[in-house]
Amino acid sequence: MAPFDPDLDARPKHPPLCVLKFGGSVLTHPDDYAQAASETYRHLRQGEKVLVIVSALNGETSALYDASNLYGVGGSDATKARLIRLGEFRSAALMGLALERIGVRTAVVDPHEIGLMAEGRPLDADVSDLDVPSLLEKIDQADAVVIPGFTAGHRGAGAAVLGRGGTDLTAVTLGAKVGAQRVRLIKDVDGIYTDDPAANRRARRYGGLDYDTALLVSKGVIQDKAIQAAKSAGVALEIAAMGAADATQVRPGPAALTSRVEPVPVNLALLGCGAVGSGVLDHARSRSDLFSLNPILVRNAAARARDDRARFVSDPAAALGGSLDIAVEMMGGADEPALLMERLLGAGVNVVTANKAAVAKHYDAPHAAARRGRARLRYSAAVGGGAPVIETVRRLAPHGIAKLEGVMNGTANFILSKLADGVPFADALEEAQRLGFAEADPSADIEGQDAAEKLSILIREGFERAVSPDQIPKASLADMTPELCREAAKRGAVYKQVARAELDDDGQITAEIVIEAVALNHPFAHAINEHNCVHIWDLDLCRHEVFGKGAGRWPTAAAVFADIMDLHRALTADGGTTSAMVLPSTAVDLGVMGQGEKA
């Protein structure tokens, strides 16, 4: 099987670009950056790169305006602008940290780094210039680029702000300059209404409206200058709430009213609450408006006595009782969880899991149960952790996939990275376990079984062929040493565990897990520690790259919660929840709960 050749595979596929703007109405507390990161990750899963424009936290800009007036008597507007813009710089850094925590390849960029300039009055300026090639270079090197809104450089004053609501103007202007396919403004309402929906329950939402009408009815939801700039540049705007499927479209054409979309309350069961499950719990609690939690199943409920986030139980009947819409399986093991998922799906309960062993070994049974029960099964986190590998493969599969390969095991990659730094194998493994990347029994990672399970799932998704993990040849990591890694470094190479699958001319699938040295200019060499990097070639031999953290609490939890949110939007679109009654089961063996999920 031919490996990647940078000279022959020089046609990477560039994904479309989306601009997301988060204003102070949704960034009210530092904890809100986690939700904003989840919203950004949602668009990455859809195959877009994202330009993230952020306002200051709610109230910060007003406080800075007050300070500029209090201490700036007799001072210049140029100096006041330097003070007032500080909230956006802080916000951009916090947003970048939230994205990096969940494994998104992120660049945080200040206005001067991309030549973002404004003209006019320093406290109410208009964008005048942008170094487009510099911004496109930043976008090319990252999956999410974060830029502080509301502010720019100024040739006369040195710095300027763009007036109240100016982050909208930043988003529109940058989106127009780089040819973004859409500019989505995230607000505390799910669109533009005929009246304030909080005060008037009869207010109707616009599905779409033209720029001139938007100027009349927006009532401050969108900055007027941003609407005028969008009209001038022909940029379509979307006004939406965090996590919402629907949006008001501002674009040429007649205005159209649509029905108000009420979020559907969903009953959620978490089965397991270790490192990943705890992160999923935090995500679910942050959207208490959407999710009602059943008691959470853990192995030792008594050990959770001081955890006041939820009620913890060791009785499966309590965790699975009542009416369920979504169950999240995070127990570990393969056979018992697969049987449980099959039972839940057959009863009409939607299921989310990160359990690659259960999905790879028992792929057909839960899918068949989902069809019988008219339920949905989601397992994005089973491959790639926070890297949206499965979503990319599914998006490309209808058009045909020629081959795929990648660094898919975060634990193995972490160990190889440490060996390259001269750390002995045993110490590298111990550190991987301490950080939560490796299980107490790391044999699946070391012997390539974990990567084979992931590759087996991708072969199912991408080629619609059944190749068991046991049928895939595997190379062991156990014989790797710092000395071997040093020798590779002298040759300008680095060792990686690479999983490959390819469709040959006879329509057969060739698959393997190998340990091989790749050149330092190889894209896989940039995946260090727990990062994953996967390449998928379509039938035109255009290469699509997916990059992200493949292990760890927050990246995996983000992927699991993204699946949960996808199901929530699907249930909302269906017009209601499944509310399937699940009878208590005594067949759940808590002994199968993995070390990462033990109480």
pLDDT by residue, tens only, the chain of 599 residues? 555 454 445 455 678 999 999 999 999 999 999 999 999 999 999 999 999 999 999 999 999 999 999 998 889 999 999 999 999 999 999 999 999 999 999 999 999 999 999 999 999 999 999 999 999 999 999 999 999 999 999 999 999 999 999 999 999 999 999 999 899 999 999 999 998 888 888 889 999 999 999 999 998 899 999 999 999 999 999 999 999 988 999 999 999 998 777 777 899 999 999 989 999 999 999 999 999 999 999 999 999 999 999 999 999 999 998 889 999 999 988 999 999 999 999 999 999 999 999 999 999 999 999 999 999 999 999 999 889 999 999 999 999 999 999 999 988 999 999 999 999 999 999 998 888 788 888 999 999 999 999 999 999 999 999 999 999 999 999 989 999 999 999 999 999 999 999 998 888 999 999 999 999 999 999 998 889 999 999 999 899 999 999 888 899 999 999 999 999 999 988 876 555 655 545 455 555 554 344 33
Same domain, 423 and 353: no
State which H helix or E strand residue 43 sits in: helix 32-45
Q: How far apart are CA 152 and CA 125, in angstroms?
A: 9
Q: How far apart are CA 284 and CA 273, in angstroms?
A: 12
Same domain, 28 and 168: yes
Domain-embedded: residue 7: no
- How many other CB atoms are found less than 10 A from the CB of residue 50? 27
Domain-embedded: residue 355: yes
Same domain, 564 and 535: no
Contacts of 338 (CB under 8 A, 6+ apart): 355, 358, 359, 361, 362, 365, 366
- Residue 503 is encoded by which pair of tokens? 């469709």
**Can you give 457-507 as a three-state secondary structure string?**
HHHHHHHCCCCCHHHCCECCCCCCCHHHHHHHHHCCEEEEEEEEEEECCCC
Q: What CATH number does the domain containing 410 carry?
A: 3.30.360.10
Domain-embedded: residue 10: no
The pLDDT score that the predictor gives to residue 212 is: 95
**Exposed, middle or buried, 492 (CB in 10 Å: 0-12/13-18/19+)?**
exposed
Same domain, 26 and 158: yes
Final residue in a domain of this structure, among 214, 229, 258: 258
Q: Rounded to 10 degrees, what is the CA torsion of 571, 572, 575, 576?
A: 60
- Residue 552 is encoded by which pair of tokens? 């760890």
Q: How far apart are CA 550 and CA 470, in angstroms?
A: 22
Q: How far is CA 377 from the centre of its chain?
A: 18
Same domain, 90 and 208: yes
State which amino acid sits at residue 283.
H
Long-range contacts of 299-302 (CB under 8 A, 24+ apart): 299/590, 299/593, 299/597, 299/598, 299/599, 300/598, 300/599, 301/599
Domain-embedded: residue 252: yes
CB 370 within 8 A of CB 376: yes
Same domain, 534 and 584: no
Same domain, 354 and 450: no
Ordered strands of the 543-549 beta sheet: 509-519, 493-503, 401-407, 531-538, 543-549
The pLDDT score that the predictor gives to residue 577 is: 59
Same domain, 89 and 215: yes
Count of the separate structural domains present in the chain: 3
Q: What CATH number does the domain containing 104 carry?
A: 3.40.1160.10
Q: What CATH number does the domain containing 314 carry?
A: 3.40.50.720
Final residue in a domain of this structure, among 258, 288, 314: 258
Q: How far apart are CA 205 and CA 256, in angstroms?
A: 9
Domain that holds residue 371: 266-383+555-597
State which H helix or E strand residue 21 sits in: strand 17-22
Same domain, 213 and 297: no
Domain-embedded: residue 494: yes
Same domain, 239 and 291: no
The pLDDT score that the predictor gives to residue 562 is: 97
- Residue 518 is encoded by which pair of tokens? 């790749």
Domain-embedded: residue 12: no
Same domain, 309 and 362: yes
Q: What are phi and psi of 317, to 5 degrees?
A: -60, -40
- Residue 356 is encoded by which pair of tokens? 């690659």
Domain-embedded: residue 270: yes
The pLDDT score that the predictor gives to residue 586 is: 44
Final residue in a domain of this structure, among 206, 238, 258: 258
pTM above 0.75, yes or no: yes
Domain-embedded: residue 2: no
**Exposed, middle or buried, 52 (CB in 10 Å: 0-12/13-18/19+)?**
buried
With CA atoms as reference, report the closest residue to 363 among 467, 444, 474. 467
Same domain, 219 and 318: no
Categorise residue 243: left if φ over 0, alpha if ψ from -120 to 50, beta otherwise.
left
